[in-house]
Amino acid sequence: MKGVVLAGGLGTRLYPLTKITNKHLLPIYDQPMIYYPIRQLVDAGIREIMLVTGGSFAGHFLNLLENGGGFGLRRLHYAFQRGEGGIADALKLAEDFVDNDRCVVILGDNIFEHSIAPAVEKFRQQTEGARILLKEVPDPQRFGVAELHEGRVVSIEEKPAHPQSNYVVTGVYMYDAYVWEVVKTLKPSRRNELEITDVNNAYIARGTLCYDIVEGWWTDAGTFESLLRAN
């Protein structure tokens, strides 16, 4: 199983902190933000990871992370995303790296209190499909919102004005090789991005998307408020 860390974007919501470096290299307490998702994957037994980044400060990751040996990785791979085409657009860059294996994708600004390893192990036991992690939050309209019915996710809506539930999709996505067929069919959303929500809904349509509820706290760190909360 391969790991993919998505750390692109321009971080405009954190300007001027991001005027001199990538958002994912900002500190969360005593470590760079990017350490947290990498260690989540390593803790889940993944030893080959691709980091997808972009922008003017992409080289800063190489200076910090080198070849990944400090995390016990066999190798840390890098890919460069041009512009801001969305999460699914960034994921497309990892297709050759994953190479028909399964993959665990994690957003570089997501911080979890507990290990995701139990959920990754459940994914290993799945015969096919995808797995996501959900969390109940007080402000679901900021995220992709999952509608649940009889223990299944029946739909996911991106940043809805009137959410169907308080359960949102966190930044961990686990996919089998079908994901590469899906991303090739995606059309840009009204935000002019390829949405990861559309990928997840494609798995829902096939009846092969599973989920777990995150225990403990979880936060992104892409705004000043959430960066402070993460610290």
pLDDT digits (tens, 9 = 90+) for 23-63: 999 999 999 999 999 999 999 999 999 999 998 899 999 99
For 51-65, letters b (16+ CB in 10 Å) and e give bbbbbebbebbeeeb
85 vs 44: which has the higher pLDDT = 44
pLDDT tops 80 at residue 127:
yes
83, pLDDT greater than 80: no
Query: Which residue would you say has higher pLDDT here, 190 or 178?
Result: 178
Half-sphere CA count of 143, side-chain side, radius 13 A: 23
88-123 pLDDT, tens digit each: 989 999 999 999 899 999 999 999 999 999 999 999
In DSSP notation, 48-101 reads EEEEEEESTTTHHHHHHHTTSGGGT-SEEEEEEE-S---HHHHHHTTHHHHTTS
- The three-state secondary structure class of 140 is helix
Beta strand pairing call for 218-219 and 144-149: unpaired
Q: How far apart are CA 53 and CA 67, in angstroms?
A: 15
pLDDT at 85 over 90: no
Which of 188 and 224 is assigned the larger pLDDT? 224
The confidence score (pLDDT) of residue 100 equals 87
Position 84 pLDDT exceeds 80: no
Beta-carbon count within 10 A of 43 CB:
12
What span, in angstroms and rounded, lies between the C-alpha atoms of 75 and 95? 17
CB 219 within 8 A of CB 168: no
Q: How confident is the model at residue 193 (pLDDT cuts 50, 70, 90)?
A: confident
Looking at residue 112, its amino acid is F
**What is the number of other CB atoms lying within 10 angstroms of the CB of residue 159?**
15
> How far is the C-alpha of 61 from the C-alpha of 37, rounded, in Å?
14
**188, pLDDT greater than 90:** no
b (16+ CB within 10 A) / e for 179-205: bbebbeebeeeeeebbbbbbbbbbbbe
Q: Report pLDDT for 154.
A: 95
pLDDT of residue 12: 87
How far apart are alpha carbons 78 and 51 in whole angstroms?
5
* pLDDT at 198 (0 to 100): 94
pLDDT tens digits, residue range 128-154?
999 999 999 998 998 999 999 988 999
* φ and ψ at residue 66, rounded to 5 degrees: 50, -130
Q: What is the pLDDT of residue 10?
A: 81
pLDDT (tens digit per residue) in 156-176: 999 999 998 999 999 999 999
Query: How many Cα atoms are found within 13 Å in the side-chain-facing hemisphere of 130?
Result: 28
Q: What pLDDT shows up at residue 56? A: 87
Predicted TM-score (pTM) of the model is 0.94
